[in-house]
Structure 1
Amino acid sequence: MVDVPDSLPARMYLLAYDLNKQRMALSGERLGYLLRAAALTELYLDGRLTEERRRPKPDTPGDDPYGLLAQITASKPRSWKYWVRKDSRAMVRAVRDELADAGWIRVRPRRVLGVFPADQVSVRDPRVVKTLWGGASSALRGKPVAHVNSYDAAAVALAAAGELRTVLPRPDRRRHKRRIAELTARSGPAAPAVKKALADYWGAAAG
């Protein structure tokens, strides 16, 4: 049996790795939105966050590994989309460094076009990614939604909202639309917020 990381953001980072191309399928803000939403979803599923008037609200105290609970507690009420977008690039660095320190990935500095500094990420054991992908894939089929592992359900919901093609290519998102909606409803409000944040992102890019 292959071990996988415990945290949902770490799992989503690895699921964003394209084994065929041996590079990340997402980067920058788009990856950051996905990872922030994963952290919010983990807090929601664990009962440390609840929802009030369509906004996240701290509930049961507990671990806050990425500092989101502290941010939300110190702020006036804001939308889920706001918290998905906030500090998105810093979230990528935090999760990447966590995975590198724990030995899940290797990060090497490189230069794009020989000029621009960047990081080359590689997964140390491809079986970890395949195991996570298998869990997400099985969540789309078979057992009733209520019996699916909560993190596998969340992985599907987040991958669909974040347009993560390594998990859900566009044809699969269309084919399994109803099932994805059921898994999303079970996983909480953060995944739909990713979809809204991405709509803003693409709108800004087009403008």
Structure 2
Amino acid sequence: MNPIPEVDVHVSLTRRVFLLAYSPERRRLSSRERLGVTLQAAALYELYAQGLIRDHTGKVTATAVRGRAPDCDLAADLLARITASERAHSWGYWVRKGERQATDRVGATLERERVIRFEPHRLLGIVPTRRMLLRQPRLRAAATKAVRDALKATRPVDRVPAVDAALVALTYEGELRVVLGRRERRAARGRVDALEAGLGPVPEALRKAVRRQKSRAAGAAG
């Protein structure tokens, strides 16, 4: 049997967010209604952290920086669309734009890398669906540990790596509840605010996108 290739959890923030949304008990993604915008935000933050995009009066613009290529297809595609856009758009626009395809795209990447596997399944023995299996549990465990460590009040905020602070901020603002339950979210608010202080405009854009989703859902229900 061919060995499963090792994947560096620090390579892509989007991969780590996706894995944190996975529920091992249910063998499926949790908080899926928020996952698309959260993955888009993760890709956007990666581009921002690499200096490939910047904020210009509240709008996203591509820079002239030519650093290393984005670490995932989602971020690479996002950068191409930002660069090709005839006018600059807000951070919230790019968090929302393409969010319906984001989950499947990152999932396909992880399946190709043999980190996860999808297999046919019938819900209640009747409804055809797919079950997701985690082939490299250590990757999710490492991401979970990074979140827990970053949230420890005894750890100085300036000692938390920016990528881990971003992971906490995005899973929090994206409301990935498999990572943080309701009680933990309430307790973490102040710490998350401190971690977000140096991350730029992406966490706030995600928070507003989630708020917008909830507002629309409430309107449709009413």
TM-score normalised by the chain length of structure 1: 0.90
Q: Which residue of 1 aligns with 2:81?
A: 71
Partner of 1:89: 100
Partner of 2:25: 20
Question: Counterparts of 1:143 and 1:30 in 2: how far apart (Å)?
Answer: 29
* Partner Cα distance (2:57, 2:122) in 1: 46
Matches within 5 A, 1:1-207: 4-5=8-9, 6-27=11-32, 29-59=33-63, 60-62=65-67, 63-64=69-70, 65-66=73-74, 67-75=77-85, 76-112=87-123, 114-115=126-127, 118-141=129-152, 142-207=154-219
Native 8 Å contact 1:108 1:119 kept in 2: yes
Deviation at 1:22, TM superposition (A): 2.5
**SS of corresponding position for 1:186:** coil
Quick one: structure 1 residues 21 and 77, their matched pair in 2 at CA, closer, same or farther if it must change by over 3 Å? same
Residue identity in the other structure for 2:25: N
1:157-197 deviation digits (Å, cap 9, x = unpaired): 00110011122222222212121011112222122111111
Shift in alpha-carbon separation, 1:119–1:185, aligned structure 2, 3 A:
farther
**d(CA) in 1 for partners of 2:130, 2:147:** 27
Report the alpha carbon displacement of residue 12 of structure 1 after superposing the two structures with TM: 0.4
Q: Which SS does the other structure have where 2:103 is aligned? A: helix
- Kindly indicate whether the alpha-carbon contact (under 8 Å) linking 1:81 and 1:197 is maintained by their aligned counterparts in 2: yes
* 1:80 Cα deviation from its structure 2 partner: 1.0
Contact 2:92–2:206 (Cα < 8 Å) also in 1 = yes
- The runs of 5 or more residues in structure 1 that have no matched partner are none
The alpha carbon displacement at 1:111 in A equals: 4.8
Structure 1 contact 173–180 (Cα < 8 Å) conserved: no
Secondary structure in 1 matching 2:89: coil
1:112 shift after superposition: 4.6
2:197 is paired with a residue of what secondary structure? helix
Amino acid at match of 2:106: V
* Number of residue pairs the alignment of both structures matches: 204
Contact persistence 2:150–2:168 (CA under 8 A): yes
Contact 1:19 1:126 in 2 (8 A): no
Q: Which protein shows a greater Rg?
A: 2
Tell whether the 8 Å contact from 1:4 to 1:132 is kept in structure 2 after alignment: no
Query: What is the RMSD of the two structures over their aligned residues, measured on CA atoms?
Result: 1.8
CA displacement 1:124-148 (0-9 Å, x = unmatched) = 1322211110011101113322221
Distance 1:52 1:111 in 2: 49
Rounded to whole Å, the distance in 1 between the matches of 2:50 and 2:115 is 24
